[in-house]
Amino acid sequence: MSTRNQTPTNRESLTKPSASAQPIKDTAQFTSPTNPLLEEITLGPYQLTNRIVMPPMTRSRASQPGDIANTMMATYYGQRSSAGLIVSEGTQISPMGKGYAWTPGIYTKAQIEGWRLVTNAVHANHGVIFAQLWHVGRVTHSDNIGGQSPISASALAANKVQVFVDDGQNQPGFVDVSFPRAMTINDIAKVVAEFKQAALNAIDAGFDGIELHAANGYLINQFIDSEANHRTDQYGGSLKNRLRFLDEVVSAVADAIGAKRVGVRLAPLTTLNGTVDATPEQTYTAVATMLNQHKVAYIHIAEADWDDAPPMSNAFKQTLRDAYHGVMIYAGKYNLKRALDALNNGFADMIAFGRPFIANPDLPLRIEQNQPWATHDPQTLFGGNEQGFTDYPAYEQLQGRSDVNSAQ
């Protein structure tokens, strides 16, 4: 019996009752009759209905075997298609690109067909969705990549980093990452080609474009950031050399599907997964300048969002804005006040709300109507079934009536 649209039973133990039955918490902090979040915006060839982004969020619910997107995922994304832009959860471009159990891929025919269920659901509601293309590099364990050694810019371990594995014995859990080997020149050329093919596959699956995951310590980031890249060839050493891999990947996918259907996610100040840059403002200003030359559709900045994280200064944000002239998206624990400040200050054109979209599938309407936001259940973020995934109600459903305009 095919498992293409089923959820593996070994995930059930990871789930707890979802937050959908919990009292909602009012986190709405600002409303305006001319809320810029609700204004239309042009993104590449698309006219988006608002400036609200659902960013990529790993949920680990792909069908097994095969890491295939399924009908449950189609329901999840379809419920949230009122976002101006949806960026899918990270989807690995190859078997070697997989970092965590039960994450979807986009390199087989079955995976492409699975994602088509998702894009059809979003388009049925007049939404726009990009696929985030993902290669984790060294942030994985051999069990996730068929027993092979991970690959990275250099043979340097990601210290104190763990990933989620399914050992096939019904005992999934977190383990330390495996030690990587440095990529050869042939390896690099192969991965560039895999990114290009993944972009073509995404368009075949019905996605409107793609986002390259160049943030959070994954493979592209491992080439960019100085402390993860100790190469002495044309892909390491100088800043120009450290950006060469990203430059080649962007060129490849832009040639394949058009630069206006390409976005890039960056995280200049993050230390996630052990990747750190010694001079982030210099490095990421150069990245923004390069991406401006490629004329990609957007840059998606993930600000560090843990409690004591270093803030991005307004001066740094202005420097990035000056270097890159396309659409700028910011993410990282944004509430309405911060979002509107970023838009009004000109640093951002769109704002991504991650966690709020999990528990509020109708988030744009809640913003428009100044309705309270529900809080998500952290116990159901990864793995499992519909609980904590597709069972969060819209505010209209929560009230048991259709007149949402008078719900506040």
Residue of 218, 235, 284, 298 marked catalytic = 218
| The residue to which tokens 């190859």 are assigned | 94
d(CA 13, CA 26): 31
Task: Retrieve residue 381's tokens.
Answer: 């973020």
- Containing 165, the helix (H) or strand (E) segment is strand 162-165
Burial class (CB in 10 A: 0-12, 13-18, 19+), 5: middle
* 8 A C-beta contact, residue 395 and residue 363: no
d(CA 264, CA 167): 33
Which amino acid makes up residue 399? Q
Q: Catalytic: 107?
A: no
| The residue to which tokens 């890159």 are assigned | 324
Question: Do β-strands 173-176 and 162-165 pair in parallel, antiparallel, or remain unpaired?
Answer: antiparallel
CA 156 to chain centre: 25
> How does DSSP classify residue 363?
H
* 8 A C-beta contact, residue 404 and residue 371: yes
* 8 A C-beta contact, residue 111 and residue 65: no
d(CA 215, CA 135): 11
Provide φ and ψ at 227, rounded to 5°. Answer: -80, -10
> Which residues are designated catalytic?
218
